[in-house]
Chain A
Amino acid sequence: TQLLEQSPQFLSIQEGENLTVYCNSSSVFSSLQWYRQEPGEGPVLLVTVVTGGEVKKLKRLTFQFGDARKDSSLHITAAQPGDTGLYLCAGAGSAGGTSYGKLTFGQGTILTVHP
């Protein structure tokens, strides 16, 4: 069973601060996705990273996939109250297998950005 350890579980910061969320595993993933979830709704995809060492930017959010494809990070610059939510990383099975699109999710990070 592949596991994803996400940290920290809770993050409470002031508007304008920077933050990083980490997602780590001992397993290799063929790709990794980051989702954001708001109360009462399902998660929504932010980004997919596929190549080891890949960096993707989405406005103030920067996503990185580790060189060995075992870990990933999400960095938010100058956080805003609108960034508040639950952030989830999710890994897809290692290359070569038939995964049927299944994902393994981390435990999630609850981010609160105070005005």
Chain B
Amino acid sequence: DAGITQSPRHKVTETGTPVTLRCHQTENHRYMYWYRQDPGHGLRLIHYSYGVKDTDKGEVSDGYSVSRSKTEDFLLTLESATSSQTSVYFCAISERQGGSLTGNSPLHFGNGTRLTVT
């Protein structure tokens, strides 16, 4: 299994508080992603990183920020948590972009953080 650790695994927080989720990898992969998973929506991309200090927004980035100061760590921050951000958050890593013959390299996922905002 790819070395990806998400912390915490579970968190309950109150509306309006800041929350930071951590993703740590031991694979030295260049690309890292944060997704959220909600029933009926599959996985939706929040933010991604293509190198240290290189990050960009995904399709559901409002209310979230990220930082990547080291290759191995990718932090997701909910600046002021809302109930709509109650979800399961997954970090994923990828070694490379795909070529025309092989397609994208697979995403390797952590085991998720279940966040409840009350």
A and B associate in one complex: yes
Number of contacts between A and B (CB, 8 Å)? Answer: 91
| Bound: A32/B104 CA distance, A | 9
| Bound: A44/B4 CA distance, A | 13
Is the CB–CB distance between B111 and A101 below 8 Å?
Answer: no
For chain A, give the interface size range.
Answer: 20 to 34
| B84-105 Cβ-contact flags toward A at 8 Å (1 or 0) | 0000001010101110111111
Please give, as numbers and ranges, the residues of chain B lying within 8 Å of A4 by CB-CB distance.
Answer: 42
Q: Does B43 contact A (CB under 8 A)?
A: yes
Q: Interface of chain A, helix or strand or loop or mixed?
A: loop
A residues 1-49 touching B (CB-CB < 8 Å) = 1, 4, 6, 9, 30-33, 35, 40-45, 48-49
Partner-binding segment picked from B12-20, B44-52, B66-74, B75-83? B44-52
Assuming A100-B48, A100-B50, is B104 touching A33 (CB within 8 A)?
Answer: yes
- Total chain B interface residues with beta-carbon distance under 8 A: 34
By Cβ-Cβ distance, the 9 closest A-B pairs, closest first, are A42-B109, A31-B103, A45-B106, A105-B42, A105-B43, A50-B103, A101-B94, A92-B104, A107-B42
B residues 101-118 touching A (CB-CB < 8 Å) = 101-112
Q: Quote the shortest CB–CB distance from A55 to chain B (angstroms).
A: 15
Is the CB–CB distance between B105 and A42 below 8 Å?
Answer: no
Closest to B44 in A: A105
| A94-108 Cβ-contact flags toward B at 8 Å (1 or 0) | 010011111111111
Assuming A42-B90, A107-B41, A107-B42, is B98 touching A92 (CB within 8 A)?
Answer: yes
Q: Quote the shortest CB–CB distance from A52 to chain B (angstroms).
A: 12
Q: Does A88 contact B (CB under 8 A)?
A: yes
Partner of A102, one of B42, B58, B111: B58
Closest to B6 in A: A42
Residues in chain A within 8 A of chain B (CB atoms): 1, 4, 6, 9, 30-33, 35, 40-45, 48-50, 88, 90, 92, 95, 98-108
Please give, as numbers and ranges, the residues of chain B lying within 8 Å of A90 by CB-CB distance.
Answer: 43, 107
Is the CB–CB distance between B103 and A42 below 8 Å?
Answer: no
Please give, as numbers and ranges, the residues of chain A lying within 8 Å of B45 by CB-CB distance.
Answer: 102-104
Q: Quote the shortest CB–CB distance from A98 to chain B (angstroms).
A: 7
